[in-house]
Amino acid sequence: MRIRVGAALAILLVLFFFSLCLANSKDNGGQGLGGDVIAIDAMLPYGERERPPVLFPHDRHAAYSGETGCLSCHDERSGDGSGISFAFKGRKGLSGNEIRDLYHTECIRCHAEGVATKQPTGPQICGGCHVRDKAVPTSSSYAIDFDDSLHFTHTEKATLDCRACHDLLNGDDSEKSGDSMSPGLSSDNVSHDLCITCHLVDRNHKKPSGPLSCKACHALPAQSLADLNPSKDVARGGEVLFDHDLHEMADISCDVCHHKEPDTRCSECHTDGDSSQGGGISLYAAMHTRNADRSCIGCHDEMGAGDVDDCTGCHAPFRTGNP
């Protein structure tokens, strides 16, 4: 009897292995590789990770989000009632293993539900999400090709005012509401906040809107991060054709603008970034701050009649189409 039980067990074991080999001989699809991959490395600040970070294919998830849409995974943004918080829902205020447990609970639950309801679903096993040694470029290595025609689409078709985007993009944070930003994340989220919220609000109002999927914007081929720093010096329109003579003739003293040395250019101290150079005032702020005597707009406001609200007074019109 015992010998038979043993033999049966041995045969079963072998059968299991062979059937598994066959069942899994096809490529299991792998992860969605491309511009939509987000590395979930929430555990990074808490010491060495046990497993590789999850490479999360956002578009594949968004495609199956069903009726609840973004709200399946994201909280509605508090305040204006439109748009979403970009952090994974329930994530805020958690730390350490709480974050890990939240992701485990929610991801595993959803993937399991998919099986239960016979819907297409994600991996069930640990290694399905925690993929080891796979150098997958994440979405941030896929640049956005915001070319002239796309700019045109935003300014002309969507009739967006310059400041709708540029104030925020250039660091005027007066409009940033606290909960739109994910905690501790880079300023990349400013553009996510800006673009996606706008696209989303339009879509919710049944207006023609921009795309919501990652890949639709992050469309340029993946590059190394070093190559990715978009050159801000390449002007494709919108330059300010500053007439120095005109300002001299207006009897403005040199040191109103050149407040350091007569030969020092604005951008030598006021840089693009958030550095403390130039008194922490960015180049954008140096030009646009309303309540400063030295800034262009501050001065124009004072001298002119009322607030300056037309960018094109200074900035050249954006070129449309090909030059």
Partner 1 sequence: MYQFITGPLLWLSFSIFFIGCFVHVALYIRGLDFQLDRIAYNTNIVSGVKAALRSIGLWLVPFGTRCWRQNPVYTLIFYLFHVGAVVTPLFLSAHSVILKYRWGIYMPAMPDVVADVLTAGVLVAACGLLLRRMLVPEVRNLTTPRDIGVLFLSVAPFATAFMAYHQIGDVTFWTIAHILSGELFLVAVPFTKLSHIVLFFCSRIQIGMDFGIKRGGVKSSGFPW
Give min distance, CB of 10 to partner 1, in A.
6
Choose the binding region for partner 1 from 17-25, 56-64, 71-79, 248-256 (rule: CB under 8 A): 17-25
Q: Is 171 left (phi over 0), alpha (psi -120 to 50) or beta?
A: left
Q: In whole angstroms, give the CA distance from residue 235 to residue 205.
A: 34
**Residue 150 within binding range of partner 1, rule CB under 8 A:** no
Instruction: Work out whether the CA dihedral 299, 300, 304, 309 comes out positive or negative.
Output: negative
Give min distance, CB of 29 to partner 1, in A.
10
Give min distance, CB of 6 to partner 1, in A.
5
Task: Single out the residue of 158, 154, 144 nearest to residue 238, CA to CA.
Answer: 154
In sequence order, what are the residues at sequence separation of 6 or more whose Cβ sits closer than 8 angstroms to the Cβ of residue 2?
Answer: none
Give 88's strand partners: 74
Instruction: Work out whether the CA dihedral 88, 94, 99, 102 comes out positive or negative.
Output: negative
| Residue 28 structure tokens | 């299991």
Give min distance, CB of 47 to partner 1, in A.
10
Q: For partner 1, how many residues bind (rule: CB under 8 A)?
A: 33
**Residue 290 within binding range of partner 1, rule CB under 8 A:** no
Q: In whole angstroms, give the CA distance from residue 157 to residue 174.
A: 27
CB atoms near residue 198 (< 10 Å): 19
Beta strands in 166-320 (DSSP E): none
Binder among 90, 128, 237, 238 for partner 1 (CB under 8 A): 128
**Residue 9 within binding range of partner 1, rule CB under 8 A:** yes
Give min distance, CB of 105 to partner 1, in A.
6
**Residue 3 within binding range of partner 1, rule CB under 8 A:** yes
**Residue 63 within binding range of partner 1, rule CB under 8 A:** no
**Residue 44 within binding range of partner 1, rule CB under 8 A:** no
3-class DSSP assignment, residue 68: helix
**Residue 17 within binding range of partner 1, rule CB under 8 A:** yes
Q: What are phi and psi of 253, to 5 degrees?
A: -70, 145
**Residue 6 within binding range of partner 1, rule CB under 8 A:** yes
The contact pattern for partner 1, residues 87-126, with x = CB under 8 A and - = no contact, is: --------------x--xx--x---x--xx------xxxx
Binding interface with partner 1 (CB under 8 A): 2-3, 5-6, 9-10, 12-13, 16-17, 20-21, 23-24, 28, 50-51, 101, 104-105, 108, 112, 115-116, 123-128, 131-133
